[in-house]
């Protein structure tokens, strides 16, 4: 890691089961890490990480979290109702992007394999993806398979596109949490990863050390598009909620990218 590649990285969802791995991986990679938490007293994270207290659902609490950052990794999420997914999975991304006020940062966003299946709360994760693409800056969107269902010999990473695995079970693919973190952090500084969306699973074999060539082999998302390369066109904008369309428009208008 050179000084030119060193980022000030905000980790959103830092105390979660993936977030803790992201904090550790980003520190190992030489980045400065700011961990967004709701309760600083309860955060058990490496001492090198800067703890920043804020609430994703309250935009007014996020100004300190985004101050001077050059990268952000979103690994937050919720389970349950559509209302919770709207407020956290989607609203958290919207609120952080709005707090940035169009300032350029590199984004790595974790959603989920099967996110385009139009089932349950997945639509809100997909809308969060669309906001990131609309923001205009360098981004990578990672849709991991089922966490920690892999066997010890399943460490070889596979990058997929098109989101065609939608059984809603580990048959769609499995992945270790630490490997999800590795891919997200690597994507921040790999120009080959930017503008790309992938499903992430592991198969039998040893883990790869370098990921640039794997990122390079992916197809880039359509320029000015809202969906991932090869995604099903099953979420038409003219049927989207009005507030979502307003968020997209505001995100596009606020960006300060070339």
pLDDT in tens, 132-179: 999 999 999 999 999 989 999 999 999 999 999 999 999 999 999 999
User: In percent, how much of the chain has pLDDT > 70?
Assistant: 97
Q: How is domain 3-254 classified at the CATH fold level?
A: Rossmann fold (3.40.50)
Each residue's pLDDT tens digit, 217-248:
999 999 888 999 999 999 999 999 999 999 99
pLDDT for 163 equals: 98
What's the N-to-C CA distance of the chain in angstroms? Answer: 26
Report the chain's mean pLDDT, rounded to a whole number. 94
Ranking 38-47, 61-70, 95-104, 245-254 by mean pLDDT, the lowest is 38-47
pLDDT for 223 equals: 83
pTM: 0.96
In angstroms, the CA 34 to CA 101 distance is 19
Alpha-helix residue ranges (DSSP H) falling in 76-234: 82-84, 91-100, 122-134, 177-188, 212-216
Supply 53's token pair.
């207290």
Q: Which of 120, 108, 118, 119 is nearest to 144 (CA)?
A: 108
């Amino acid at each position: 890691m050179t000084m030119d590649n060193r980022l000030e990285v905000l980790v959103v969802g830092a105390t979660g089961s993936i977030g803790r791995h992201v904090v550790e991986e980003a520190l190992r990679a030489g980045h400065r890490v700011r961990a967004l938490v709701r309760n600083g007293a309860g955060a058990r994270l490496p001492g090198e990480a800067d703890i920043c207290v804020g609430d994703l659902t309250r935009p007014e609490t996020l100004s300190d979290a985004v101050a001077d950052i050059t990268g952000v990794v979103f690994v937050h999420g919720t389970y349950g109702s559509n209302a919770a997914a709207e407020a956290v999975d989607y609203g958290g991304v919207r609120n952080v992007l709005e707090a940035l006020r169009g300032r350029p940062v590199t984004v790595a966003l974790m959603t989920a394999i099967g996110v385009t299946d139009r089932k349950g709360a997945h639509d809100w994760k997909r809308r969060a993806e669309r906001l990131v693409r609309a923001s205009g800056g360098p981004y990578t969107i990672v849709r991991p398979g089922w966490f920690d269902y892999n066997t010890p010999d399943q460490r070889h990473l596979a990058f997929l596109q098109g989101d065609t695995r939608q059984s809603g079970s580990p048959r769609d693919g499995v992945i270790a949490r630490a490997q999800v973190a590795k891919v997200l952090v690597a994507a921040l500084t790999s120009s080959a990863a930017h503008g790309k969306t992938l499903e992430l699973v592991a198969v039998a074999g040893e883990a790869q050390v370098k990921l640039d060539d794997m990122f390079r082999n992916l197809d880039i998302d359509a320029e000015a598009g809202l969906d991932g390369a090869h995604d099903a066109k099953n979420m038409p904008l003219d049927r989207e909620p009005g507030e979502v369309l307003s968020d997209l428009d505001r995100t596009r208008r606020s960006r300060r990218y070339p």
